[in-house]
Amino acid sequence: MKFELPKLPYGYDALEPYIDAKTMELHHTKHHQTYVDKLNTAVEKYPELVGRPIEELLMNLANLKMEEPDRIAIRNHGGGHFNHSLFWKILDPTNQKDDLVVKEINSTFGSVEEFKKQFTDSATKLFGSGWTWLVRNNQTSKLEIKNLPMQDAPIMTGLQPIFGLDVWEHAYYLKYQNRRAEYIENWWKVLKLI
Ligand code: MN
């Protein structure tokens, strides 16, 4: 079975005015769709891999028997598919505040405000294209803020994503142009952490 673009469980305009409908539509139907298509093109060359979950491919990427350009394609486009599938869930406006996560954020970072400050600082300083993540490190079980480049998925390096922010320009440029800090500030209003 091929990978497919997941349906958005809410409308493209559901996150207005913080994330605009046009950006959401392009992001979902063009950018994410392209990751899905290119991931399928790479995986289809290896019939034994068709039907394997994306998590399995990404976590075992180094050991898959394949040509290097295909491994890079799965890292980039498979990561893109994994990250965006999660991102649409993170942005779901029907999400309730997760009290357990908030409690752990408080105990790890001192307060939600301090955490937001550190996360925002990390996302603002991320150079080029990538994501800022709140992850759980599998080795220490602790929460950490991580910047990862391009579409590298946290699960590739033993990190369980709690939530993440797409800071590729395609995620905000239409509405915010170069004002990444303003996009990040408004993203917190969608996330409803407090
Ligand atoms: Mn994106």
Q: pLDDT (tens digit, 9 = 90+) per residue, 52-98?
A: 999 999 999 999 999 999 999 999 999 999 999 999 999 999 998 89
Domain 99-190: CATH superfamily, name plus number: Iron/manganese superoxide dismutase, C-terminal domain (3.55.40.20)
The domain locations on the chain are 21-90, 99-190
Residue 84 CA to ligand 1 centre (angstroms): 6
User: Residue 45 contacts by C-beta under 8 Å, 6 or more apart in sequence?
Assistant: 66, 67, 70
- Model pTM greater than 0.75? yes
Contact 45, 70 (CB under 8 A): yes
Q: Rounded CA gap, 166 and 87, in Å? A: 8
- Tokens coding 57: 């491919």
CATH class of 21-90: mainly alpha
CA distances from 52 to 2, 26, 134 (A): 10, 28, 26
Reference 163, options 125, 126, 121, 192; nearest CA is 192
Q: If you average pLDDT over every residue of the chain, what do you get? A: 97
Residue 60 CA to ligand 1 centre (angstroms): 23
Residue 128 CA to ligand 1 centre (angstroms): 13
